[in-house]
Chain A
């Protein structure tokens, strides 16, 4: 494959840009919506993170909120949990998504049906999934441990044992999200031109070689999309964790988002605003370079 010049991917070339045929006030409605709903809140939140506020008044206290936030003992573990959670979910979604996609693009019986079955959990409400699995994972009466005990295994307290709680939630997240990853992969694999496979067949390639040399490299854009989406999702994940463990037992499955939520609940509005600014910067700091890196890779196939 010849390397394509980068500009061809980057869209219409910048130099000598023609004047837009539309008058600039055409942008106004969109600009207003964007400013009111996104720009203004973002900027004010930076200000309010420097205050101690209730809905009625605010008192400027400089960077005290940030100091308190970073001293929060739950934060350090929360940061670590967030990263662990994001990496586990993102990694498993890539591996399982690719596997399922390869399976579901092959000639198997009931392919359409199986595809929808895999995608189905994505459509279900996260809170519903969380509550259901909380019941299934109950250490004493849950279906999972009761089934395990039938074959003589004493199952752990999935959500109540501090060393398993976070991983259990991550696994449920994977179950729920792998359908989307599979869908993206299926799209990626289907769009690989058949010629490659025909050529490979002529050369006598095995199924493994097909996968390793054709599917894997050519599905790379899909991989990048899956990694990016699931990593962003994992870093800011909150609803599933809240529905299943509320960060517990104790603080053992607290992620940054749930730490912030609890501060908000407690009425520490300034502190939780500061937390959100930190979360915003953190997600940007991880995702922005990663997306630049992955995009640059995409070009030189």
Chain B
């Protein structure tokens, strides 16, 4: 009696466990109910603004195409999300559509094998974006979101109150920091509770690297240039260390999260936050009335004349090669909608646009936040902006965020960190089968 009961318990536990496993693949197996109706699943990351945009797009698209319904699913951000995307792609278990980074992370998905080419839409897209979702002359994605900058967001009120000017060299930046600290404001906000936010001083510094060493990205891909041996490239690590050593960061830098950092900046408890400009939408959504209080400047380098903005291409919307038949047709239709002015409008309605669009014919509304205007100034000026390294080279080491946290927390020195990162990158290059590694 008892034994059979135990057996039953084990059996039901096992079925539960199995059920739990298959829950992850929900959506992709949605049955197509008759009548030409198609349901597509769409995976995005779980950043609140991304979800709003995805859901806005899905709603507006269905309003125009009543036969196609789109279910938005979410995944974690950062390396955890990379893992989910790669695993689901390689097991053929991906949703019908998914949103993912463009550039080197997208190249690591082996687009020729795993993604459906979307060349039909190439005419509508901007060249820089095409480069960042292209492989072997084909393009595999349409832009989901806007161009963004890796730059320093700053609180204009705090700057005005302390009589500060936007810095164009690192020395000016440090001088500002000293004054801010004396005034009792945290000069630089860091949020290592979310490790990816630690990388901006290095990744956002790339325009300055490229300005000092034209063509660095190519040499880097060919294993001819290194972070540790290029002074301009190593400067990013140095900066991170200097900011920590001088005590310019907020006290809770080790545990604070992105949202904490944005709120600190909006409230003026911190003056400057090196972050991706796309986070502006969240900052404004959480702190209404801050549109014109937050400005943006490029990460300062050694030469004021060559200082400029490092720009990230928008994320992409991709169709995995596992999507076929009716679903593929419907998915392509959706991609076409996203890559059209209607799509831009839909995204802009759902979330405050935080940078230029990559689709021809899409215009930013007249009333954009101050930081976006600042960003546009750099982009409009000849030679004052470049794409980030991850769009120019497929080589990006996975441990950069941890290494940056170490430098920014005073655990490791900048020199050692640059060397360590060069080692980390080697594994990625070998896995990709690049020549010269």
List residues of A whose CB falls within 8 A of some B CB.
52, 54-56, 59, 68, 71, 73-74, 138-140, 157, 159-162, 246-252, 262-268, 270-271
Q: Which of B48-56, B80-88, B123-131, B235-243 contacts A (4 or more CB under 8 A)?
A: B80-88
Question: Closest 3 A-B residue pairs measured CB to CB?
Answer: A250-B406, A160-B254, A266-B398
Q: Which residue from B108, B411, B431 sits with its C-beta under 8 Å from A250? A: B411
Q: Which residues of A contact B431 (CB under 8 A)?
A: 52, 266-268, 270-271
Chain A residue with the shortest CB-CB distance to B404: A250
Complex formed: what's the CA distance from A55 to B412 in Å?
A: 35
Q: In the complex, which residues of chain A have a beta carbon less than 8 angstroms from the beta carbon of B12?
A: none
Q: Are A157 and B255 in contact (CB under 8 A)?
A: yes
> Can you list 20 contacts pairing A with B, beta carbon distance less than 8 Å?
A55-B90, A55-B91, A56-B90, A139-B254, A140-B252, A157-B255, A246-B195, A248-B192, A250-B405, A250-B409, A252-B411, A263-B398, A266-B79, A266-B82, A266-B399, A266-B431, A267-B86, A268-B431, A271-B427, A271-B431
**How would residues 396 to 426 of chain B score, 1 for a CB under 8 Å from any chain A CB and 0 otherwise?**
0011001101100101100000001001000
Q: Does B113 contact A (CB under 8 A)?
A: yes
Residues in A neighbouring B405, C-beta threshold 8 A: 248-250
Asked if residues B399 and A140 are in contact (CB atoms below 8 Å), the reply is no
With A266-B398, A267-B431 already in contact, the answer to whether A249 and B252 are too (CB < 8 A) is no
Q: Could you list which residues of chain B lie within 8 angstroms of chain A, going by C-beta atoms? A: 79-80, 82-83, 86, 90-91, 108, 110, 113, 192, 195, 251-252, 254-255, 398-399, 402-403, 405-406, 409, 411-412, 420, 423, 427-428, 430-431, 433
Cα A56 to Cα B114 in complex, Å, equals 10
Cβ A265 vs Cβ B83 within 8 A: yes
A230 to chain B, nearest CB (A): 24
* Contact present for A262 and B79 (CB under 8 Å): yes
**Known contacts A68-B427, A71-B423; 20 further A-B pairs (Cβ under 8 A):** A52-B430, A52-B431, A56-B90, A73-B420, A139-B252, A139-B255, A159-B255, A160-B192, A160-B255, A162-B411, A246-B195, A249-B254, A250-B406, A251-B402, A264-B83, A266-B82, A266-B398, A266-B399, A267-B82, A271-B431
Distance between Cα atoms of A52 and B251 in the complex (Å)? 43
What's the nearest-Cβ distance from chain A to residue B18, in Å? 14
Contacts of A263 in B (CB 8 A): 398, 427
- Complex CA–CA separation, A265 to B83 (angstroms): 5
Find out whether the CB atom of B428 lies under 8 angstroms from the CB atom of A266.
Answer: yes
Whether A265 pairs with B79 at a CB distance below 8 angstroms is: yes
How close is A143's CB to chain B, nearest CB, in angstroms?
14
B409 CB contacts on chain A under 8 angstroms? 162, 249-250
Distance in angstroms between the alpha carbons of A266 and B402 in the assembled complex: 13
Interface of A is mostly: loop
Q: Look across to chain B and name the residue whose beta carbon is closest to the beta carbon of A266.
A: B398
Most buried by A among B83, B251, B411, B427: B427
- Give the distance to chain A from B81, nearest Cβ to Cβ, in Å: 10
Which listed residue, A54, A56, A162, A268, touches B427 by the CB 8 Å rule?
Answer: A268
List chain B residues, Cβ under 8 A from A246: 195
Contact residue among B82, B113, B423 (Cβ-Cβ distance under 8 Å from A73) = B423
Residues of A within 8 A of B428 (CB): 266, 268
A160 to B160, CA, bound (A): 34
What A residues does B90 contact at CB under 8 A?
A: 54-56
A264→B79 CA distance, assembly (Å): 10
A55 nearest CB neighbor, chain B only: B90
List chain B residues, Cβ under 8 A from A157.
254-255
Inter-chain contacts of B113 with A (CB < 8 A): 56
The CA-CA distance from A169 to B106 in the complex, in Å, is 35
Question: With a CB–CB cut-off of 8 A, which chain B residues contact A71?
Answer: 423
A266 to B403, CA, bound (A): 15
Q: Nearest chain B CB to A54's CB is how many angstroms away?
A: 7
Residues of A contacting B430 in the complex (Cβ-Cβ under 8 angstroms)? 52, 68
Cβ-closest chain B residue relative to A252: B411
- A67–B372 Cα gap in the complex (Å)? 48
- Return the chain B residue nearest A269 by Cβ: B431
Return chain B residues, CB-CB under 8 Å to A250.
402-403, 405-406, 409, 411-412
Contacts of A266 in B (CB 8 A): 79, 82, 398-399, 427-428, 431
Asked whether A267 and B108 contact (CB < 8 A) given A52-B430, A140-B255, the answer is yes
Instruction: Decide: B254 and A265 in contact? CB cutoff 8 A.
Output: no
CA of A54 to CA of B113, assembled, Å: 12
- Given the complex, which residues of A lie within 8 Å of B252, measured CB to CB? 139-140
A249 pairs with B192, CB closer than 8 A: yes
Residue of A nearest to B81 (CB): A265
Give the distance to chain A from B275, nearest Cβ to Cβ, in Å.
Answer: 19
Question: Most chain-A CB neighbours within 10 Å: which of B251, B420, B430?
Answer: B430
- Closest chain A CB from B112 CB (angstroms): 11
A52 CA to B82 CA, complexed, in Å:
19
Q: How far is the CB of A189 from chain B (nearest CB, A)?
A: 26
Cβ-defined contact, B80 with A265, below 8 A:
yes
Residues of A contacting B406 in the complex (Cβ-Cβ under 8 angstroms): 249-251
Distance, CA A157 to CA B411, complexed state (A): 15
Give the Cβ gap from A157 to chain B, nearest Cβ, in Å: 6
